[in-house]
């Protein structure tokens, strides 16, 4: 329970003088379920226990032994600010107009696009709020080595680490340009198809 137990957490961050590791690196050959995050959400622990009590089985786990019902999708996919990401509306620096309007926090370091957790759905403190809800980007605390890889206030595009999900490890501008390019190609194909259909209806060649 928690990122320290799961991966070694902050104690395992470089240079890791105590050689801290997660429980799964020590306990071998035994059933193990990881519920990371810092702090771990008690709802996820209760969910695992209830699943076992009601079914007699453990829930389906991912490759890191995390229950998929909680860690099977990205924070980014269910984020309350996702529409601003799609619209290209970002906080450029804390306290600016974008921050006041709850724009996407990717440019100031949010790691939601490469973090798997359900924080954006169940939240914390009895569902009251979560980091992004108070204007602080996700630091990926449910991912391995999060303190070394993710815990800084700049986008992944400025780090020499490839995000596991693809796409948004590019700069936001490159990502947006890619979307515009794809849209432009689609519009061009649609226009060509419409012109061809019009010529067929007129009996012309195409």
73 or 170, which is more confident = 73
Alpha-carbon distance 127 to 41, whole Å?
A: 10
Does some domain include residue 189? no
Instruction: Count CA within 13 A, CB hemisphere, residue 63.
Output: 3
In a domain, 97, yes or no: yes
Q: Give mean pLDDT, residues 95-105.
A: 95
**Domain-embedded: residue 190:** no
Q: Is position 26 within any domain?
A: yes
- pLDDT of residue 163 exceeding 50, the answer is no
Lowest mean pLDDT among 41-45, 81-85, 123-127: 123-127
Domain assignment of residue 52, given as a range? 3-170
- 184 within some domain: no
Confidence check: pLDDT of 190 > 70: no
Asked if the structure places residue 13 within a domain, the reply is yes
CATH code: domain of residue 63: 4.10.480.10
Model confidence over 24-72: pLDDT tens digits?
Answer: 999 988 999 999 999 999 999 999 999 999 999 999 999 999 999 999 9
Burial of 31 (0-12, 13-18, 19+ CB in 10 A): exposed
pTM of the model: 0.73
Question: Is residue 104 classed as helix, strand or coil in its secondary structure?
Answer: strand
Question: Mean per-residue pLDDT for 163-179?
Answer: 45
- 109 in a structural domain: yes
């Amino acid at each position: 329970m928690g990122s320290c137990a799961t991966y070694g957490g902050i104690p395992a961050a470089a240079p890791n003088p105590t050689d801290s590791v997660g429980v799964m690196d020590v306990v071998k050959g035994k059933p193990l379920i990881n519920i990371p995050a810092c702090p771990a959400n008690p709802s996820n622990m209760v969910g695992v226990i209830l699943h076992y009590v009601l079914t007699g089985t453990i829930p389906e786990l991912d490759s890191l032994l995390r229950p998929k019902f909680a860690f099977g999708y990205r924070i980014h996919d269910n984020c309350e600010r996702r529409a601003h990401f799609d619209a290209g509306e970002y906080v450029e620096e804390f306290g600016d107009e974008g921050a006041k309007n709850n724009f996407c926090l990717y440019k100031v370091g949010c790691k939601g696009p490469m973090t798997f957790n359900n924080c954006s759905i169940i939240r914390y403190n009895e569902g009251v709020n979560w980091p992004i809800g108070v204007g602080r980007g996700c630091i990926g605390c449910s991912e391995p080595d999060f303190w070394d890889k993710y815990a800084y206030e700049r986008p992944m595009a400025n780090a020499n680490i490839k995000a596991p999900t693809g796409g948004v490890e590019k700069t936001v501008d490159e990502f947006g340009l890619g979307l515009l390019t794809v849209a432009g190609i689609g519009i061009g194909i649609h226009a060509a198809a419409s012109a061809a259909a019009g010529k067929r209806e007129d009996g012309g060649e195409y």
